[in-house]
Amino acid sequence: MKKFLRLLYLAPAALLFASCDNGFEEMNINPNASLEVVPGFLFTRAQLSAVSNNYTGAAYLTIGGSMQHFATYKEVPAAGDKYFNYTYSTGSWGMYGGTDQTTQGAVIDIEQVIDALSKSADDVNKLSSSRIWRAYIYHRLTDLYGDIPYSDAAKALTDKNYTPKYDQQSAIYADLLKELEASINAFDASKTTFAKADLIYGGDITKWKKFGYSLMLRLGMRLTQVDPAMAKTWVQKAIAGGVITSDSDIATIAYVDGSVTASRNFIATGLMNSDYISPGADNVEGGKFAKTLIDHLKTTKDPRLNVISVVWTKASANAPYVADTATALQKGMPNAAFNSRPADFDTYSEPNPATILKYNAPLLVFTSAEVHLLLAEASLRGWYTATTAEAEYNSAVTSGLKQWTLFGTAGVISDAKINAYLAANAFKTAGTVDEKMEQIGTQKWVTLFLEDEYEIFSNWRRTGYPKLTPTNYPGNLTGGKIPTRFQIPDSEGTYNKDNFIEARTRQGGTNDLSSVVWWDK
């Protein structure tokens, strides 16, 4: 009888479980998510997430501080200022994927796009643009971390590979350069493009070719210290192909101001949210412009000083704050000089809200100014004879000053000021090769400020220019050496231990801020 009653009670439960199982898989599908790859959407997202990934932690607090564009009096955010807190640099690993897919996962996105577009010859232009953008993503990752997952990356969905091997940076560079050449050559003017889904060029094939060759030029020049012959080959191949030399071909992404925060310029948003919230307040991260940057701009009479920098002043105690761009007022805060708010904190320079902190400011992804500086170096090395290093340097300076016009009327620098700057900082035609290299490298440090701190960091490691004086704050993680590599997250030692350890051993046995990547000699 007890057994019968127990069966009687269990029967409805069994029926309940059976009915719950019926259609369960359908119920477990998100109706708002696509089950298929939409290449245009993912390409757009890969563009946005690649450029914005970990901006505050990496480009601002780590590189911006170590390259002495910014300074902070606080210790916690001082990854670049005092060489503390390596975790700020690990966030860039989020390009491989993370929980916040609005800012992370560019690698997964672009690999899925390429896989989807590889099935039809009609998609060759979309595929070529994607392969070039893929090279852009990976070159940033490998420049920051060295050996990284590359050939096995993003294979979890397709191959169930959750522990990708780490490729050597030398092999990654060789493949990236070949990928750029192959994708550029594959463009077909008769086929369709991403059109408006391409936020940079709107599908313009001619401009994508120039972007690809310009990236090839950058990567080729990266090899000058480790493989000069290979560097020369790819630099000359890129120049022959046709690079970005006109301001009309600058690679940009437009942003808009409004209630949708994801549509705002991420640099302005990052700086505003993390530090420069309101005038006269104690900035969240304790940040200001660095003394090294402001002193250089003032010494060279650089008109960019009045475009990028302000000091907040008040006519009286009850008067509103005013963003003053006057040259005499600008003053940079020394790096690693304080561990508490200095008494004169309010007198140091901050980013200009009329240019840098505008939510609708554009992002300059790749500029003609950088290309002209690369061509100046190529000329200096005897790899480019169509013009002179001096002519390319002058073109770079002119383009670098004019590009601030894209930020609005507050960014306009007159021709008279440009000519005066060139006269006061003429190219050292009679100088040594090292003196000319220093002038080119220092100009790149100024020209790419804000827009591409990553490239400034890479160029400084490759050339040693500009000459920066390291800080040696008590308890720093590098022994008073400017950081030279980002640290791979500790989680890799747990989830991908064997491959992580193999790569770490290959790169000298360490995973710290003082280790170096392959091309950094």
Residue 7 has pLDDT above 50, yes or no: no
CA distance from start to end of the chain: 86
Q: Are 457 and 445 in contact (CB under 8 A)?
A: no
Q: What per-residue confidence (pLDDT) applies to 13?
A: 43
Please state which of the ranges 6-20, 416-430, 503-517 shows the lowest mean pLDDT.
Answer: 6-20
Token couple for 251: 């690679």
Mapped onto helix, strand or coil, the DSSP state of residue 298 is: helix
Question: Could you tell me the pLDDT band of residue 19, with boundaries at 50, 70 and 90?
Answer: very low
- Which domains can be identified in the chain, with CATH numbers? 37-206+466-521 (1.25.40.390), 281-351 (no CATH)
Q: Are 462 and 224 in contact (CB under 8 A)?
A: yes
Residue with tokens 């690693």: 336
Q: What per-residue confidence (pLDDT) applies to 219?
A: 98
Q: What per-residue confidence (pLDDT) applies to 25?
A: 55
Q: What per-residue confidence (pLDDT) applies to 104?
A: 54
pLDDT tens, residue by residue, 31-71: 555 568 899 999 999 999 999 999 999 999 999 999 999 99
pLDDT tens, residue by residue, 210-254: 999 999 999 999 999 999 999 999 999 999 999 999 999 999 999
Residue 18 has pLDDT above 50, yes or no: no
Q: What per-residue confidence (pLDDT) applies to 379?
A: 98
pLDDT tens, residue by residue, 336-388: 999 999 999 999 999 999 999 999 999 999 999 999 999 999 999 999 999 99
Question: Could you tell me the pLDDT band of residue 157, with boundaries at 50, 70 and 90?
Answer: confident
pLDDT tens, residue by residue, 407-451: 999 999 999 999 999 999 999 999 999 999 999 999 999 999 998
Mean pLDDT across 480-495: 94
What is the spatial distance between Cα 397 and Cα 395, in angstroms, rounded to a whole number?
6
Count the neighbouring beta carbons within 10 Å of the beta carbon of residue 405. 14
Q: What per-residue confidence (pLDDT) applies to 17?
A: 42
Closest CA to 223 of 463, 24, 11: 463
DSSP symbols for 430-471: TS-HHHHHHHHHHHHHHHTTTT-HHHHHHHHHHH--S--PPP
Strands 166-167 and 70-72: unpaired
Please state which of the ranges 30-39, 45-54, 453-462, 466-475 shows the lowest mean pLDDT.
Answer: 30-39
pLDDT tens, residue by residue, 256-283: 998 888 899 999 999 999 899 878 778 9
The region that residue 97 occupies, defined by phi over 0 for left and psi between -120 and 50 for alpha, beta otherwise, is: left
pLDDT tens, residue by residue, 291-322: 999 999 999 999 999 999 999 999 888 899 99
Q: What per-residue confidence (pLDDT) applies to 12?
A: 43
Q: What per-residue confidence (pLDDT) applies to 365?
A: 98
Percent of the chain scoring above 70 in pLDDT? 92
Higher confidence at residue 10 or residue 498? Answer: 498
- Cβ contacts of residue 483 below 8 Å, gap of 6+? 62, 66, 79, 80, 83, 89, 513, 514
Q: What per-residue confidence (pLDDT) applies to 26?
A: 56
pLDDT tens, residue by residue, 212-224: 999 999 999 999 9
Total residues found in the chain within this entry: 521
Q: What per-residue confidence (pLDDT) applies to 508?
A: 87
What integer best gives the mean pLDDT of the chain? 92
Residue 103 has pLDDT above 60, yes or no: no
Give the DSSP H or E segment for 128: helix 124-145
Closest CA to 510 of 443, 360, 493: 493
Mean pLDDT across 485-497: 93
Residue 10 has pLDDT above 90, yes or no: no
The region that residue 280 occupies, defined by phi over 0 for left and psi between -120 and 50 for alpha, beta otherwise, is: left
Count the neighbouring beta carbons within 10 Å of the beta carbon of residue 397. 22
Q: What is the pTM of this model?
A: 0.92
Question: Could you tell me the pLDDT band of residue 143, with boundaries at 50, 70 and 90?
Answer: very high
Q: What per-residue confidence (pLDDT) applies to 282?
A: 82
Q: Exposed e or buried b for every residue in 434-472, given b needs 16+ CB within 10 A?
A: eebbbbbbbbbbbbbbbbbbbbbbbbbbbbebbebebbe
Mean pLDDT across 480-489: 96
